[in-house]
């Protein structure tokens, strides 16, 4: 049966994505529907459905530090940026493979919708 997880398929190179980083544990690629001038998704290579399912305590740290490095690389570290992990239905999660959004290049508003 075909693997239904779209982000697992990106990890395996089965569907195209604008890959920016490929480490031992994580990949980062541009969001298909960007909500800011810079909108990057950072995901673990290993399938984890959501933040609520994380058992590898190191993975969240690795994803976060990759976001910091990418913010510098994208030139948004000085102006500021937002990192978001939507979790579950009320969190607004639509793809059930853990991902961290890195958003920047414009001023963000608060509170989020």
Query: Active-site residue 99, yes or no?
Result: yes
Give me the DSSP letters along 81-105: EEEE---HHHHT--SSS--EEEEES
Classified as helix, coil or strand, 31 is coil
Which of 13, 37, 75, 92 is the binder for ligand AMP (CB under 6 A)?
A: 92
**At closest approach, how far in Å is the CB of 26 from ligand AMP?**
15
Of residues 40-79, which lie at the interface with ligand AMP (CB under 6 A)? 41
Tokens of 104: 């920047």
Residue owning tokens 């990192």: 83
Contact indicator for 6, 15 with CB cutoff of 8 Å = yes
- Stretch binding ligand AMP (CB under 6 A), from 19-27, 51-59, 70-78, 93-101: 93-101
Task: Name the residues that contact ligand AMP, by CB under 6 A.
Answer: 6, 17, 29, 31-33, 41, 86, 92-95
């Amino acid at each position: 049966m075909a693997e239904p997880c779209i982000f697992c398929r990106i990890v395996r190179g089965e569907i195209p994505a604008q890959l920016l980083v490929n480490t031992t544990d994580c990949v980062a690629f541009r969001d298909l529907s960007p909500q800011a001038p810079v909108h990057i998704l950072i995901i673990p290579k290993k399938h984890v459905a959501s933040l609520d399912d994380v058992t590898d305590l190191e993975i969240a740290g690795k994803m976060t530090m990759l976001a910091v490095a990418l913010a510098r690389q994208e030139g948004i570290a000085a102006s500021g940026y937002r990192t978001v992990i939507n979790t579950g239905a009320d969190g607004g999660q639509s793809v059930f493979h853990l991902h961290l959004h890195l958003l920047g290049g414009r001023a963000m508003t608060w509170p989020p919708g």
